Amino acid sequence: MPRQAKHPELSQLSPKAKDAAYKRKWREEKKSDPAETERLRQLQNEYKRRSRARLKLEQAPPAKRRRVATPDAGPSDSHVPVSNSPSVMDGPSDDTPNTSGSSNTQNSTASTDPSDITLCHASVQAVPSRQFIDISVTTEPPPFTRDVEIMTELSCIDPTTFSNNPPAPSTCFTPPRDLHDSKDLVTNVIGVQVSSWSDTVKWSSGFTTILPCIWTDGKNICQEDADAVRYFSQLPESDPQSSTNVVHVHHHNWSSRPDELRDLIAKTLREGKCIVIRGAEKPQVAKLDVDYLENCGFSRFMRVAIHDVEERTRNFTYPQVEGTIEEFILDLDNPNKVQFVLDLPYTGMGIPEHLRLLDHGIVHGWNQTTAEHPIVDPVHPDNFLVNGWALAHHPAVLTNFHHDSDGGVTFVQSVLGKKMWILAFPKNPNISRTKFLKHSLELTDTPIKPNKIKANWNLEVVTLEEGDMLIQPPGQYHAVFTPTEAFCKGAHCFNYEFLHEMELSRHLDAKNGKYLTNQLHEHSLDTLHRMVLHLPRVSSHTRLFTRPLIALCMMVIDSHKYVAAGGNKKKSFQRSTTAPAIAICNAIVKHFWTDIKTAVSVYVNGPDKTQGRQSLTHPGELINRSELAICLKPFINV
Ligand SMILES: [Fe+2]
């Protein structure tokens, strides 16, 4: 149902005149509201106070940094820490995984009712002011630092006095650029970068954002997205203390323990949970413009596929328009254009250096097999391009529920702008794959149907601020709202410990890929082959579990079953690596489980073959490495 116009008396005006008239009204309303005036006055006073505090700090001698205990504090000196909080790694040691189908990550008082088991599978600184970008008057803001907020008070400019109407409503007060303490993500966006007709919403986290809006012919053509975002805003923000699905840590508590952090990430993801690392990088203060992107290495003339939200309302499967980075940026201040770019290659930049060993596809698969198995076939570049990418968004973009394609682990880090990351975890992971697929389709069905979703999914929101990183396991269902202009970076990779989640994800894609995933990649079998070829020489430090190993064998032996829906299932995938990889998989299956049928039964039903007990995300038991060495000895040629 179309939304009622806020100012019906303006409906006869041309779009340009209407926009200008609306801005004048908006500004007048703001000025005439005593509460708003008082709020702005108090904000100014607060920033003045901080500015004075900052000056004092600058004059004082540097103080020693003090370590403060926090709920998400890192490990004690001995290995992985134990905490009373289930969200902060309370669970089995890596050597004693629970094979009962329920997660040991619950605390001891947790219910054992399957419905209670929460396994799952499944920007900041500153949003700079862009208010007067096309006015011939510029006001140079004062310099600012990351950790001290500075008041920025610009002179009052009345846009109506300019012959060329400015694109935004103006107030005499311009918020400071460092919005760390500010929950207002609306000012500087509404009427500037997003239509003045957009509604706003307050999230459980306290942030206020605009809702998606492209105002055309008297209605918001993004009303479905707006309804979905309003629904998401009411979901609980992930709580570091009580979340059983998301582990929260802060980088500074782990920076000296990269090995332990990698172990924690692996343990979290192989159980189907997500991990958020606050402060993974120092937050940046910058605005998203061509200079910023050029400094990241992207030429303003680079050709990109621009996802256009208006086009998406017409053609959901192909919303892209061709353009350059410069054109994308030029439309940032056009309230009628809401766009984003997903294909900014950023190879090698998506995973922090101290976490790159988690990328087993590259580190073990590609880097360590080419001496025995030289690369002789054409290799799809995505095998390497997925290891780093960047995304750029206009404000008010919703990406609805999906899982990332091909079953890779996803690293994502907010660089400029914030992200509301909505995560969905199955209430009961001990269900059949058929049922899980049905629930997945309900989740990805738009418009969002809250009642259906509530019945089968636990939802929570992780607000990623500038510098925060989220790592999610393969197949993790998520929706993302980008409230302000944003630039983020990330990567996908494969890991021996999460291949059971990858298999489930690819299985679902093969059944209903066009509904569940965001892209279709064809490269992953190359990397899986390489990971198999490495097994005869795999390090004892690399943890191998039963279900991920069976999953790897299934995906290599029966690769045609995992072609995503819409792909050519009859096309045979033959590489020089195909035969040796299949031979190794067959040897493993025969040695440990006699045949593939039995292996699949163990995979689906658990070691005791009691149907319904095996969780979809449980990794199973550690593989006996002596047995594996005996089994794979014939494949060591030298
Ligand atoms: Fe995604």
pLDDT tens, residue by residue, 560-569: 888 876 666 5
Ligand 1 centroid to Cα of residue 483, in Å, is: 16
How many angstroms does the Cα of residue 82 sit away from the middle of ligand 1? Answer: 31
Q: pLDDT digit string (tens) for 597-612?
A: 999 999 988 776 665 5
For the whole prediction, is pTM greater than 0.75? no
Whether the CB-CB separation of 397 and 482 falls below 8 Å is answered with yes
Residues in contact with 518: Cβ distance below 8 Å, sequence separation at least 6, in sequence order: 399, 402, 403, 404, 405
Cα atoms in the Cβ-side hemisphere of radius 13 Å centred on 149:
21
**Fold annotation for 246-373+380-632:** Jelly Rolls (2.60.120)
- The residue behind tokens 């999230």 is 203
Q: Pick the more confident residue, 63 or 16.
A: 16
Rounded Cα gap, residues 31 and 186, in angstroms: 17
- pLDDT value of residue 452: 84
Contact, 332 vs 394, CB < 8 A? yes
Mean pLDDT of 107-133: 31
**Cα of 412 from ligand 1 centre, angstroms:** 9
The stretch 284-290 carries a mean pLDDT of 89
Give distance in angstroms: CA of 392 to centre of ligand 1: 13
Residue 84 makes CB contacts below 8 A (sequence gap 6+) with 90, 107
575 pLDDT above the threshold of 90: no
Query: Which tokens belong to 514?
Result: 């066009």
DSSP per-residue string spanning 160-192: GGSSS--SS---S----S--TT--B-STTTBTT
* pLDDT tens figures, 37-89: 555 455 445 544 544 554 454 444 433 333 333 333 333 333 333 333 334 33
Please give the pLDDT value at position 227: 93
**pLDDT confidence of residue 199:** 92
What letter does residue 541 receive in the DSSP assignment? T
Q: 478 CA to middle of ligand 1, Å?
A: 7
Q: Is the pLDDT of residue 320 over 80?
A: yes
Check if the beta carbon of residue 268 is closer than 8 Å to that of residue 118: no
What is the 410 CA–ligand 1 centroid distance (Å)?
Answer: 8
How far is the centre of ligand 1, averaged over its atoms, from the C-alpha of 510 (Å)? 18
Question: Could you tell me the distance, in angstroms and rounded to a whole number, from the CA of residue 35 to the centre of ligand 1?
Answer: 40
Distance 402 CA to ligand 1 centre (A): 6
CA of 405 to the centre of ligand 1 (A): 8
Q: Which residues contact 349 (CB under 8 A, 6 or more apart)?
A: 388, 390, 489
38 CA to middle of ligand 1, Å? Answer: 41
d(CA 404, CA 158): 46
Q: 472 CA distance to ligand 1 centroid (A)?
A: 10
What is the structure's pLDDT at 84? 34
- Least reliable range by pLDDT among 34-43, 212-221, 317-326, 572-581: 34-43
Average pLDDT over residues 1-6: 43
Give 334-366 pLDDT, tens digit per residue.
Answer: 988 999 998 898 887 889 999 999 999 999 999
The residue type at 570? K
pLDDT at 461 over 50: yes
Non-local CB neighbours of 440 within 8 Å, separated by 6+ positions: 477, 508, 512, 516
SS3 527: helix
Could you report how far apart the first and last alpha carbons of the chain are, in Å? 71
CA distances (Å), 290 to each of 294, 302, 344, 348, 380, in order? Answer: 6, 11, 14, 22, 30
Instruction: Report the chain's mean pLDDT, rounded to a whole number.
Output: 75
Give distance in angstroms: CA of 401 to centre of ligand 1: 8
The pLDDT of residue 238 is: 97
* 3-state SS class at 208: strand
Q: Which of 25-29, 124-128, 168-172, 477-481 has the highest mean pLDDT?
A: 477-481
Query: Which 8-state DSSP code applies to residue 390?
Result: E
> What is the predicted pLDDT for the residue at 387?
82
Q: How far is the CA of 447 from the centre of ligand 1 (A)?
A: 18
- Could you tell me which of 194, 212, 449 has the C-alpha nearest to residue 313? 212
Ligand 1 centroid–CA 397 distance in Å is 13
* Distance of CA 404 from the midpoint of ligand 1 (Å): 5
Q: What is the DSSP letter of 493?
A: E
Which of 168-177, 299-308, 346-355 is predicted least confidently? 168-177
- Cα within 13 Å of Cα(514), Cβ side: 6
CA of 230 to the centre of ligand 1 (A): 20
Ligand 1: distance of its center to the CA of 303 in Å?
Answer: 22
494 has a pLDDT exceeding 70? yes
**Higher-confidence residue: 293 or 10?**
293
The pLDDT, as a whole number, for residue 613 is: 62
Domain residue spans of the chain: 11-60+129-176, 246-373+380-632
More confident residue, 551 or 191: 551
Which whole number is the average pLDDT over 372-389?
A: 83
The alpha carbon of 517 and the centre of ligand 1 are apart by a number of angstroms equal to: 8
Residues 416, 185 contacting (CB under 8 angstroms):
no
| Residue 140, pLDDT score | 31
Bigger pLDDT: 537 or 515?
Answer: 537
C-alpha 355/C-alpha 470 separation (Å) is 13
Distance 149 CA to ligand 1 centre (A): 33
